[in-house]
Structure 1
Amino acid sequence: MNDDEVAKWLKARAIPLNGLKPGAGTADLASFRVALDGVRVVGLGEATHGTREFFLIRHRLLEFLVEELGFTTLAVEASASASRAVDDYVQGGSGDPGEALAGLGFWTLHTVEMLAVVEWLRDHNRTASRKVRFVGIDPQHPAASLDALRAYLGDDAPGLLDPLASLAAKRLGVGPPLDRRIEADARRVEDFLAGVSVPDEAPAHARIVCQSADLASRPLRHPDPAQTVSVARDRYLADNVDLLLADPDAKVALWAHNGHVMAGSHSGGSVPTMGLHLRQRYGEAYYALGVLFGAGRFRARRPRFGKVDPATPPVAFRVPFVRRPTIVEARLATAHPGDHVIDLRSGPRPEAVARWLGEPLHMRGYGAVARRFTYKLSYMPTVLAEHFDGIAFVPETTASTPL
């Protein structure tokens, strides 16, 4: 491979950013507009859930998408049930936004940086002709939906909802799966609501509970990958984005991990990602932007004896820069010394570039958990031409700031 040709191509396509501070304007992203022509969903990824700069760069990209391209919704890898409290706040409602973020059920979003995004949305919506929505798309943590359904169902609530009580406190990956009968119990609620007069919100809450019951009763691992939590979860994430796009004027900025926004499969190719579902359904109207870093700190939970205690707070990890040619970040660092975005989808590709984009590579990837002694060796495989339409790169990062 002609390394110089790849480096030259990346450098020519890099869109340098004038810092990561939100509110600095969108002029530096103007040339990125062409890459997003005709796009209705932009997946904004992250290599870790606990990196301050990933919140900042996606905040800046959100400002660009909303102010310049008319995006209408921020959809987040967060509780579809609990996110309604956050949306109420950004629409101008009362309440404590910090408490609303805590209610999402994910420590990863209970940060100073996420609070700044919420406050920006609220401020934007004060004068916007069309207010931007905040929507969770993850079926996990359905307690708010169970509470809402109890109010809608009245005297019928105990018989229908008591069998679902264990869903409120269930955490995926913690303890054994629930009995599969709980999914049938959740379907009974949906069927009951179909035959009575209730507000539109009631069937939506019932759908979330059904999805949650399905996930909570699936194993993490199974000889048939189609039976696992991961397969169903990514499909539900995509299904819930579908619901947002039922409005023909809707355009969605989608925040999730790189492993969800990429248009491929993970876990050895057995789990189609949310991004792959969206690519199959919307074609090039879906744009997958991976967000990567060169070196620095991030927060994650550390397992003890192979298990994660949800009550244990996350800790800071640090990874060094790696210069191996098969590591995507090593290539990106040659394109521009600072923060930048690169569109991989459009324009000509010299033969050497096409080969590089089409070959198996690796990139950093951490979820909510990182192992103490092996985390520096943690990478996710990728074929850039298949998985991502663009990349945002931050050379040096720091850990996100807990509220």
Structure 2
Amino acid sequence: MERMRWIWMVLLTGWLVSCSSKEDTLEEMEQETGFLSQAVHPLRTTQDLDLLLNEIGNSQYVLLGEASHGTSEFYTWRADISKRLIQEKGFNLIAVEGDWPAAYSLNQYIQGRQGGTAQQALQAFRRWPTWMWANQEVAGFSEWLRQHNQTLTQNQRVGFYGMDVYSLWESLEEVRAYMEAADPAIAQLAREAQACLAPYNQDEQRYAQATDQGISCAPPLQRLLEAVQAHRARQPANHEAAFNAEQNALAAVNAERYYYQMLRSNVTSWNLRDRHMQETVNRLVAQRGPGAKIIVWAHNTHVGDARYTDMVNSGTVNIGQLLREQHAQKGVYLVGFGSYEGTVVAATSWGAATRTMTVPPAQAGSWEALLHRHSAENKLLLMRELQNSQEVLKPRGHRAIGVTYNPSSERGNYVPTVLPRRYDAFLFIDRTTALSPL
């Protein structure tokens, strides 16, 4: 009997200790995440985006990020936000982190100027990693855009464009093809630039290495750009084919500059790339004219203001920072994305085969871990609702997954970030799933 009483006392003590530990854990959790509570809103359906749309207000520029290039929910939520911005706030331009020629081909389908299906139009994205844009999620959004545009006049339709800087050879070929009929003398300048680049067989690394030997194709590319600019100046202001040719010529010039810097300075090449994105956005808005409102889709590392990360220490800038600095009076709204765990499409090395990988739970102390600890559910954070406490303004790790990824070596994937300054709003998807490549 005495032995049984002793056993029950041990069990009761253990139960009391367990309850006490749970209370302590809940108390600790409230202390650690309580400062988030007033800014956290549920994110279950597209109706929950009402708060975000109200916050965006009359902003002319809305930038939508992603924490990886291979997560389905980042694409689908960006599409849902974009649909509402188009329908309710009159946004009429979309610029994405993709090549101008490939995106322009998709734009032709979205505008109703070519037949087929969105999946067929997306085959224009042939540069690795093709899954960034040639995927089921983008195909579905493209079909929606095409159907939406069919209800509008030609000059009201939503355009879809690429703003990246990689398309040196592709953009050159587009300029040559257009100028063969429009201005054969400029087509000859394009062929001369192509001849300069021909020995490198569309291999950017080979060209970059050749510049170490004093070789440069910058002069013929610059001559081509100036001739194309003069050609466009002679056309009506809304001449889209001439604008397309000029943008391709600009992309080719900046691509050559990027590849020249690629092996020399990571910071210089990065800044050149994001300044090209900024310039492309500005050119699209100017070309569209009065009433232009633009949505940008790019990785968080481009969208989130670089001044509130460790990027600022090296002098690295990004499009989110640049547009905020340039167009603050017109309204620039930055939306970041993140997740706690799930799956993602990526590759183990540059150019390698596509794989679906497991994204492990976020590292302790990161923003993602903090948001999961607050509640293991999807949520929307509105940054203006966060108090300016020391906890809010403390830099914490913020996960960024690129096209190459190693889940077993996560430490280098976290960017020290002051989240409420880097973004205006943040969509947190607690558990994500991999993108669906075509």
- Tell me if TM exceeds 0.5: yes
Q: 1:85 aligns with which of 105, 117, 120?
A: 105
Instruction: After superposition, give the CA deviation of every residue in 1:327-347 in whole Å (9 maximum; x if it has no partner).
Output: 101222255543222110x34
* Counterpart residue number, 1:71: 91
Listed as ranges, the gaps of 5+ residues in structure 2 are 1-27, 236-241
Counterpart Cα distance in 1 of 2:412 and 2:137: 27
1:1-400 aligned within 5 A: 4=30, 7-19=33-45, 26-93=46-113, 94-104=115-125, 105=127, 106-107=129-130, 108-128=132-152, 130-151=156-177, 152-153=179-180, 154=184, 156=188, 157-165=190-198, 169-171=202-204, 176-177=208-209, 179=211, 181-196=216-231, 199-222=242-265, 228-246=268-286, 247-264=289-306, 266=311, 268-283=313-328, 285-303=331-349, 308=350, 310=351, 312-322=352-362, 324=364, 326-344=365-383, 346-347=384-385, 349-351=386-388, 354-371=389-406, 373-375=408-410, 378-400=413-435
- AA of the residue aligned to 1:212: A
Is the Cα contact below 8 Å between 1:74 and 1:133 reproduced in 2?
yes
Amino acid of the structure 2 residue aligned with 1:103: A
User: Which stretch of structure 1 is more off in the superposition, 39-48 or 178-187?
Assistant: 178-187
8 Å Cα contact 1:164/1:186 also seen in 2: no
Question: 1:22 maps to which residue?
Answer: none
- How much does 1:361 deviate? 0.7
Q: What secondary structure does 1:135 align onto?
A: strand
194 and 378 in structure 1: CA distance in 2 versus 1, 3 angstrom threshold: closer
- Deviation at 1:313? 1.6
Deviation at 1:261?
0.3
Question: Counterpart of 2:296 in structure 1: which amino acid?
Answer: L
Residue type of the partner of 2:192? G
Cα deviation for residue 219 of structure 1 reads: 2.2
**Alignment check: 8 A CA contact 1:80 1:138 kept:** yes
Give the C-alpha shift of residue 3 in structure 1. 6.7
Quote how far apart the aligned CAs of 1:240 are: 0.9
Mean Cα deviation higher: 269-278 or 200-209 = 200-209
Q: Secondary structure at the match of 2:192?
A: helix
Give the TM-score, by structure 1 length: 0.85
RMSD: 2.7
Q: Which moved more, 1:357-366 or 1:146-155?
A: 146-155
2:304–2:334 CA contact under 8 A, matched in 1: yes
Q: Please tell me whether the aligned partners of residues 83 and 100 of structure 1 are also in contact (alpha carbons under 8 angstroms).
A: no
Q: Percent identity?
A: 26
Deviations 1:245-274 (A, max 9, x none): 223311111111000001115385331111
The 1:238–1:195 alpha-carbon spacing in structure 2 relative to 1, beyond 3 Å, is closer
Deviation (angstroms), 1:165: 4.3
Distance 2:394 2:117 in 1: 48
Contact 2:193–2:217 (Cα < 8 Å) also in 1 = no
- State the number of aligned residues: 381
Query: Once the two structures are superposed, what CA deviation does each residue of 1:269-314 show, in whole Å capped at 9, x if it has no partner?
Result: 33111111111111261111110001111111112xxxx3x2x322
What does residue 15 of structure 2 align with? none
Check conservation: 1:44, 1:253, Cα contact below 8 A. Answer: yes
Is the alpha carbon distance of 1:184 and 1:5 closer, same or farther for their aligned partners in structure 2, counting shifts above 3 Å?
A: farther
Cα distance in 1 for partners of 2:51, 2:142 equals 27
Q: What's the offset of the Cα at 1:96?
A: 4.5
* Aligned residue number for residue 436 of structure 2: 401
- State whether residues 183 and 217 of structure 1, in contact with CA within 8 Å, keep that contact through their aligned partners in structure 2: no
SS in 2 for 1:181: coil
**Following the alignment from structure 1 to structure 2, what is the Cα–Cα distance between the partners of residues 13 and 350?**
9
Deviation at 1:350, TM superposition (A): 3.4
More helix by share: 2
- 8 Å contact kept, 2:105–2:121: yes
Compute the displacement of 1:183 (Å). 2.1
Distance 1:68 1:200, change over 3 A: closer
Offset, 1:244 = 2.1
TM-score, normalised relative to structure 2: 0.79
